Amino acid sequence: MTGKRTSETNPAACCFRIAPAAFSSLRWFWRALLLLAVLLRPPANAASPPPSDGQPVRYMIVVTGGELLSGAYPDGHTQFLTRTLRPLGLSCVGSMSVDDKKADIEEALRFATGKAALVIVTGGLGPTDNDVTRESLSEFTGIELREDPDVLAAMERRFQVAPEQLRPNLRRQTLVPARGTYLKNPDGTAVGLVFELADAVIVALPGPPRELQPMVRDELVPYLSRRFGTRLPGCSLMLRFVGLGQSQIDQTLKDHAPLAPDITLASQFEGGRVDFTFSLPDDTAQDRARLEALKQKILEHLGDYVYAEDETSLEERVVKLLEARGATLALAEVASGGSLAAGLSGADGVDRVLAGACVAATEEQLRRLLRVPDDQWTGSTSIAQRTQLLAHAAADAAQSQWAFAVGEARQDTSGARYVEVVFQLPDGHTESEHVGLRGAGELDRLRLTTQLLDQLRRRLRCP
């Protein structure tokens, strides 16, 4: 028993007795039958027909890379793949991360192909010695690798050299499955690989996101649509919460909006933001009406904490609220370290609403950058007053209607850490807040950024 998996099956044995006189005529009959079978056999790289039972195609993801297991980098591929492939009606049933070792990859493939008809492997297609995914998949499937002339020609053009001048470690990236196909990669040297078996398809994608993501959108999605067909996924409802924990949301659901058995619930929490997704297996008018009724129940009890009913980010929501008011915003940041400006800068339309941002390590540095007069600064009798001066100065410098100043992190008399923040409203009035801090790490800064954006969201949505 080996770990290899092949697309061929052993024919069933059959025993019978034949009279000697019949051997001659039977011999010609079997030769003709064999010739007919050869002529009608599909080519080696032909794909088997897509499933026709109407059920979603199940797939597994295998992410390779020792750097993932050591914690050096997070796995971002699983989220991207599942979100991109869901509209095709493909159902992810699992994801695993393994080291760049043939034995580990083979073990993962053995498990994955036992769970799903489609397996997507990421990473390990590069030119280095520890890039072993290509060879591992070839050995596991029993499908040999062959140099593809088109891939070789593309590499020649990329490096502007003759084939014999290509380094061996680069040239092995032109090897593709003899039974299957490959996915073009205009952003790198490693093409994607597709190994086609009788009962499974294994796809290998390059590891770098800047190569993987365009390849999935431009090459893999069309291939999977042809190979498996497309099926409409069931309907779903996403609600994005801020300022409330998962356990509180879950308890509210149990108390006021209990879920029917056929509704699937998935949740995700990061940096003070919580996503809840409610899904039904079908997408009928009745199903959509059920989710709409569920949404209204949830909004009735938790609507104040919901900032989006789709994939809109908190930063995008703030920008849209500013746009709806025809308003602009100026930022002055110390404790948040520029994270507010950085987050907002990725939202569409930010160029129309973010009038300016100023970031410094201390309030003293910030007030110099904003040219707050010395006498006003030294004459301030409280931390809140100094933060107000920073907000006023930021609004004046950027000629903005709204301003938001974030002071330094401090400790109160009880030892609790906090930061003073000030909002300047279009009429010139200011509002101050004490925002608590848990720590000084990156996650704590992310939580702080979420809290500050939520404070801004709440003020902007008020008439």
Question: pTM for the full model?
Answer: 0.68
Average pLDDT over residues 373-397: 95
Give residue for tokens 């848990």. Answer: 438
Strand-pair category, 118-122 with 201-205 = parallel
Question: What pLDDT sits at residue 6?
Answer: 44
* pLDDT tens digits, one per residue of 415-460: 899 999 999 999 999 999 999 988 777 778 889 999 999 999 999 9
Reply yes or no on whether the pLDDT at 335 is more than 90: yes
Reply yes or no on whether the pLDDT at 359 is more than 60: yes
* pLDDT tens digits, one per residue of 267-298: 888 888 999 999 888 889 999 999 999 999 99
Q: Where are the domains of the chain?
A: 58-228, 236-308, 314-461
Give DSSP secondary structure letters for 307-366: EESSS--HHHHHHHHHHHHT--EEEEESTTTTHHHHHHHTSTTHHHHEEEEEE-SSHHHH
- CATH number for the region 314-461 comes to 3.90.950.20
Average pLDDT over residues 54-76: 88
Looking at the chain, how many residues does it have? 463
Reply yes or no on whether the pLDDT at 318 is more than 50: yes
Reply yes or no on whether the pLDDT at 14 is more than 70: no
Structural fold of domain 58-228: Molybdenum Cofactor Biosythetic Enzyme; Chain A (3.40.980)
Reply yes or no on whether the pLDDT at 47 is more than 60: no
Average pLDDT over residues 85-94: 89
The phi and psi torsions of 149 (rounded to 5 degrees) equal -65, -35
**What is the biggest distance separating any 2 CA atoms in the chain, rounded to whole angstroms?**
121
Distance of CA 457 to the CA centre of its chain: 25
Mean pLDDT is lowest, of 228-237, 253-262, 288-297, for 228-237
Reply yes or no on whether the pLDDT at 70 is more than 70: yes
Reply yes or no on whether the pLDDT at 232 is more than 60: yes
Which architecture does CATH list for 236-308? Answer: 2-Layer Sandwich (3.30)
The residue ranges of DSSP E strands in 334-401, in sequence order, are: 354-359
The residue ranges of DSSP E strands in 209-272, in sequence order, are: 236-242, 264-270
